[in-house]
Amino acid sequence: MAYDSSGTAIEFAAFGRRWRCDLQTYQLSPREPAKSENPSTVKVLQKRRASRNGGGETSVRFVNRTDERLQLFWIDTEGRRRAYGKIGAGAQRDQHTYADHVWLVVNDAGRVRGIFVAVEEEGTAVIDGTFQLKAADRPVSRPSPSGQSPDGRWQVRIERHNLALRDTETDEQMVLSDTGTSEDPFVARFAWSPDSHYLVAVQERLGDQREVHLIESAPQDQLQPRLHTFRYAKPGDQMPLARVRLFDVVHGKQIPVDESLFSNPWSIDDFHWSPDAERFTFLYNQRGHQVLRVVSIEADTGQARALISEESDTFVDYAYKQFTHYLDEVGEILWMSERDGWNHLYLYDAETGKVKNQVTRGPWIVRGVDHVDAEKRQIWFRAGGIDADQDPYHVHYCRVNFDGTGLVKLTDGDGTHAVEFSPERRFLLDTYSRVDLPPVTELRSAEQGTLICRLEEADETALVESGWQRPERFVTNGRDGKTKIYGVIFRPRNFVDNQKYPVIEKIYAGPHGAHVPKKFAAFHSAQAMAELGFIVVQIDGMGTSQRSKAFHDVCWQNLADAGFPDRILWIEAAAKVYPQLDLSRVGIYGGSAGGQNTLGGLLNHGDFYKVGVADCGCHDNRMDKIWWNELWMGWPIGPHYKDQSNVQRAHQLQGKLLLIVGELDRNVDPASTMQVVDALVKADKDFDLLVIPGAGHGAAGTPYGRRRQRDFFVRHLLGREPRRE
């Protein structure tokens, strides 16, 4: 949403279109974009930022109107890029996602072609060649494809799998390395020292080249089926082995590096030279994700030492709780860690590797860092659970000094917050809401966090008068009898107190986040299901993120748990307060990890869940993408992978099951669903299967898949034949 150039109207996107509201007459009218404007209905950014958790499920259609092949990346909550496939010239792709998740589109040369933010409604992201990065976000100088040194004298390139160096002053050339081969080549990852004396490069031995094959049975442009083949690493596969190579360019020699501290990498990233060029560091993530280490290498000797080392008996959540910020002027590093049981910030001495002080502390978590002010020695960050009287998943904005003093909570209202700072960070616009509280917008001091004035309060009166049912928050204790479990209840608009309603849980227990909606919305996808005559619930059980480390660790090598002991207790507690919940008729549905959870609910808790619709599930964690599954289930691959597979437990099916899968799912291998089908057939179990030709991940979100899902619950929980009564 934004003001137009005149300031007399606001423009926003909703329901797949753009709209204009006149602030004098409040007349609302559709607005067609000018030819020079991007016609996307999702939010378009000019500057890259990290995704934010907490939004509901949604979908974005990426439309490529250029003649280039494009690559699609999800920007995770720590700002890291995660590849999600390619979009051919003139092609389009439907992508399942969550509101407030950021998607980056680049061409094969790496040039940014679009940055988009998913919104609550399903939307369209159009890539048409008009996108321009904000000037401040453009690199001052783009690295040369030939690897030019900072002083411009040297250029390095890959030649026959090795490093070739050219002196630009004399045009003399030399070969720096001779160990590269086709199976173990040097790759184009270079880090020059500031004085151009040293070069760090990466030699990477090839790993497994696993391919997944999908058959498009009914292509739109031809009669015969089409085979799609793409690279897709799975848990246990041999990974590419990256090794750090150090060269003294001035003397044309390689300096041996001690690799004992980083011999088994999942990844080696974030190379950083000290300003005096005496040493460089990098981030080493050990395979298995139980060791995350900042390694420091002395430039003249190649000697290595662990500057910062994070170790865990379970997992180090490198993908979602990792932050490293170098303060070169004062020789310090800011670091994020869960070592005290909560996700907090620490200040390190960059020379000695000693902790100078813990910056944040307490039974709450840092959700992300927004800004580091090196001059004032302050950190601006988002926190969860910092207000003990509020829902711990609510996001608040805070500021703290490097030494841990001067903690200021900049936001206050009982809700989850989103802010916009003034250019000098003197003021902020704070909008907060809850699922049961319409948005409130305030002007606050960004220095003291005090309220200056309340600007606007949204009015839900018209919604309520239309019959809209406000979602209700519900909290009870989990399996340990003391940890609070939070969820939401959705009721149909024709709800009456003296009637019993079947209960359906919308489940997604992926450990990478928390998934119950927290922000206000006039429409949630769970509400659409409720309108059919159900009470729908969403719950965050143990094993999901954004709480304590102990809460999160429940998922470790234990994804089949999926928080079910907490979920069932929560639903039973809600039924005691609200007797309208009929626990003899309980259903469950979800997609992706939620599809795995759904089937797991029927197989492992069939005495409670009677009907389930499982979409695009990763039913055996050995079949799914390597990074996500090894992070939570661990490496090497142990017997717990097989023991928790839905395929192994398929014979336990008791209730009614509908499996949905898209034949072109590139996120989760569709074979995972078909392996469940095979096991169910062998166990002589009755079930329903819907394979949608041409559909990708999230096939249940297609119009036909959505209708079949809803019909299944109407038929088996309400006992009615859809559209015939």
**Average of per-residue pLDDT across 602-611:** 99
What are all long-range contacts of 287-293, with beta carbons under 8 Å and residues at least 24 apart? 287/239, 287/630, 287/635, 288/630, 288/634, 288/635, 288/636, 289/315, 289/316, 289/318, 289/630, 289/631, 289/634, 289/635, 290/314, 290/315, 290/316, 290/634, 291/316, 292/316, 292/318, 292/322, 293/261, 293/262
**Average of per-residue pLDDT across 70-87:** 80
Number of H-type helices and E-type strands within the chain: 9, 45
Please state the domain extents for the chain. Answer: 33-137, 463-718
Q: Is the pLDDT of residue 664 over 90?
A: yes
Percent helix, strand, coil in the chain (nearest 5)? 15, 40, 50
Model pLDDT for residues 386-405, shown as the tens digit of each residue = 999 999 999 999 999 999 99
Instruction: Report the pLDDT value the prediction gives residue 378, as an integer from 0 to 100.
Output: 98
Q: Is the pLDDT of residue 139 over 50?
A: no
Tell which wins on pLDDT, 649 or 45.
649
**Average of per-residue pLDDT across 558-563:** 99
Among candidates 423, 457, 424, 463, which has minimal Cα distance to 442?
A: 457
- Please state, in angstroms and rounded to a whole number, the distance separating the CA atoms of residues 120 and 300: 54
Instruction: Report the pLDDT value the prediction gives residue 568, as an integer from 0 to 100.
Output: 99
**Average of per-residue pLDDT across 474-491:** 99
Instruction: Report the pLDDT value the prediction gives residue 6, as an integer from 0 to 100.
Output: 62
User: The CATH number of 33-137 is which of 2.40.50.140, 3.30.365.10, 3.40.50.2000, 2.60.40.780?
Assistant: 2.60.40.780
Binning pLDDT at 50, 70 and 90, where does residue 143 land?
A: very low
Q: What is the mean pLDDT of the chain?
A: 92
Binning pLDDT at 50, 70 and 90, where does residue 145 land?
A: very low
Instruction: Report the pLDDT value the prediction gives residue 26, as an integer from 0 to 100.
Output: 80
Instruction: Report the pLDDT value the prediction gives residue 661, as an integer from 0 to 100.
Output: 98
**Average of per-residue pLDDT across 226-252:** 96
Q: What residues have CB less than 8 Å from 85, skipping those under 6 apart?
A: 71, 72, 93, 230, 666
Distance of CA 116 to the CA centre of its chain: 14
**Average of per-residue pLDDT across 99-115:** 87
Neighbours of 501 (CB within 10 A): 21
Q: Mention the CATH class of domain 463-718.
A: alpha beta
**Average of per-residue pLDDT across 231-244:** 97
Instruction: Report the pLDDT value the prediction gives residue 36, as an integer from 0 to 100.
Output: 44
Neighbours of 334 (CB within 10 A): 19
Q: Is the pLDDT of residue 203 over 70?
A: yes
Tell which wins on pLDDT, 91 or 169.
169
Instruction: Report the pLDDT value the prediction gives residue 519, as an integer from 0 to 100.
Output: 96
Binning pLDDT at 50, 70 and 90, where does residue 28 land?
A: confident
Instruction: Report the pLDDT value the prediction gives residue 423, as an integer from 0 to 100.
Output: 84
Q: Is the pLDDT of residue 104 over 50?
A: yes
Instruction: Report the pLDDT value the prediction gives residue 417, as an integer from 0 to 100.
Output: 97
Instruction: Report the pLDDT value the prediction gives residue 29, as an integer from 0 to 100.
Output: 85
- Please state, in angstroms and rounded to a whole number, the distance separating the CA atoms of residues 509 and 457: 33
